[in-house]
Amino acid sequence: MPVLRLTGDKLPLFAVLLVAMVAELIVNPFIVMETGSLLLARALWATVLLAAFAVAGSRRTAVVLFGAAIASVLVATVTGMSSLRTAAQLFRLVFLCYVLMLVIRRVLSDRTVTLDTVAGAACAYVLMGIVWGDLFNMVEGWRPGSFHVPASWTTGAGRDMRSALMYFSFATLTTLGYGEIHPTDAAAGSLCAAEAVVGQLYLAIMIARMVGLHTSQRSG
């Protein structure tokens, strides 16, 4: 099933995904800090996965990756096993990378600039930040201490770093860099540099393309 467009009787799936991702980024830290539990946070993660699956459609690859991601999240939540949490992070990361690829391909295939195109481009940019945040979280789990995170930024009984590293990911993507969270070795630093480069290239290329398409529309 192709990605749906923001026209007529079609659902605004790009907009739904964008809202779900922004809600997760904003609401999750407050939920974890106030409750000390990751249960509601994981429910929001699942909402993002559902919205991403709606955008991806019923492609076989999307169904398999989504099924693996959502099942691993549920099992990890019920059992609490660290190995299953790592598997859930990996499946979520792979699935979101796949959706990111689909969204970018769809946006680049448009020959006119519509609200759907703009929403898709925004979705891809936010997805980049979330994908890199998940990647940072996995690296930190694999090599503890790869990132310097102040104790006050960790949340919950397990000192979860996901919210802090997600914030750091978007600070890196936008090249903001306040400095309170930073990589502590060359391997983690190279991932940060790659995110900053890709983020800036994406903005430059996508904005230039949209301006060019919009100009050609008006002149035509």
Q: By percentage, how much of the chain surpasses pLDDT 70? A: 89
d(CA 181, CA 168): 7
Query: Are 182 and 140 within 8 A, CB to CB?
Result: no
Task: Indicate the burial class of 186 (C-beta count within 10 angstroms; 0-12, 13-18, 19 or more).
Answer: exposed
Q: By percentage, how much of the chain surpasses pLDDT 90? A: 43
**What DSSP element (H or E) covers 147?**
strand 147-148
pLDDT digits (tens, 9 = 90+) for 58-67: 888 999 999 9
Q: Is residue 7 part of a domain?
A: no
> Which among 110, 151, 156 is positioned nearest to 5, based on CA atoms?
110
- What is residue 74's predicted lDDT score, i.e. its pLDDT? 79
- What is residue 9's predicted lDDT score, i.e. its pLDDT? 40
Q: Is residue 49 part of a domain?
A: yes
pLDDT average, residue stretch 186-195: 95
What's the number of domains the chain is made of? 1
- What is residue 220's predicted lDDT score, i.e. its pLDDT? 58
Supply φ then ψ for residue 181, to 5 degrees. Answer: -120, 135
Q: Is residue 3 part of a domain?
A: no
Say if residue 216's pLDDT is above 60. Answer: yes
**Structure confidence at residue 219 as a pLDDT band (50, 70, 90):** low
Q: Is residue 2 part of a domain?
A: no
Q: In the chain, where does DSSP find H-type helix?
A: 13-35, 39-56, 60-79, 82-109, 115-142, 162-173, 186-219
Say if residue 177's pLDDT is above 50. Answer: yes
Name the residue range of residue 128's domain: 13-219
**Structure confidence at residue 37 as a pLDDT band (50, 70, 90):** low
**Structure confidence at residue 188 as a pLDDT band (50, 70, 90):** very high
CA angle 83, 54, 107 (to 5 degrees): 105
- What is residue 158's predicted lDDT score, i.e. its pLDDT? 58
Q: Is residue 79 part of a domain?
A: yes
pLDDT average, residue stretch 52-74: 87
- What is residue 11's predicted lDDT score, i.e. its pLDDT? 64
Q: Is residue 154 part of a domain?
A: yes
- What is residue 88's predicted lDDT score, i.e. its pLDDT? 83
Instruction: Name the one residue in this structure whose structure tokens are 């991806």.
Output: 56
pLDDT digits (tens, 9 = 90+) for 120-155: 999 999 999 999 999 999 999 889 999 999 988 886
- What is residue 135's predicted lDDT score, i.e. its pLDDT? 95
- What is residue 10's predicted lDDT score, i.e. its pLDDT? 58
d(CA 215, CA 131): 32
29 vs 24: which has the higher pLDDT: 24
Q: Is residue 28 part of a domain?
A: yes
The domain spanning residue 80 has which CATH number?
1.10.287.70
Q: Is residue 5 part of a domain?
A: no
* Mean residue pLDDT across the chain: 84
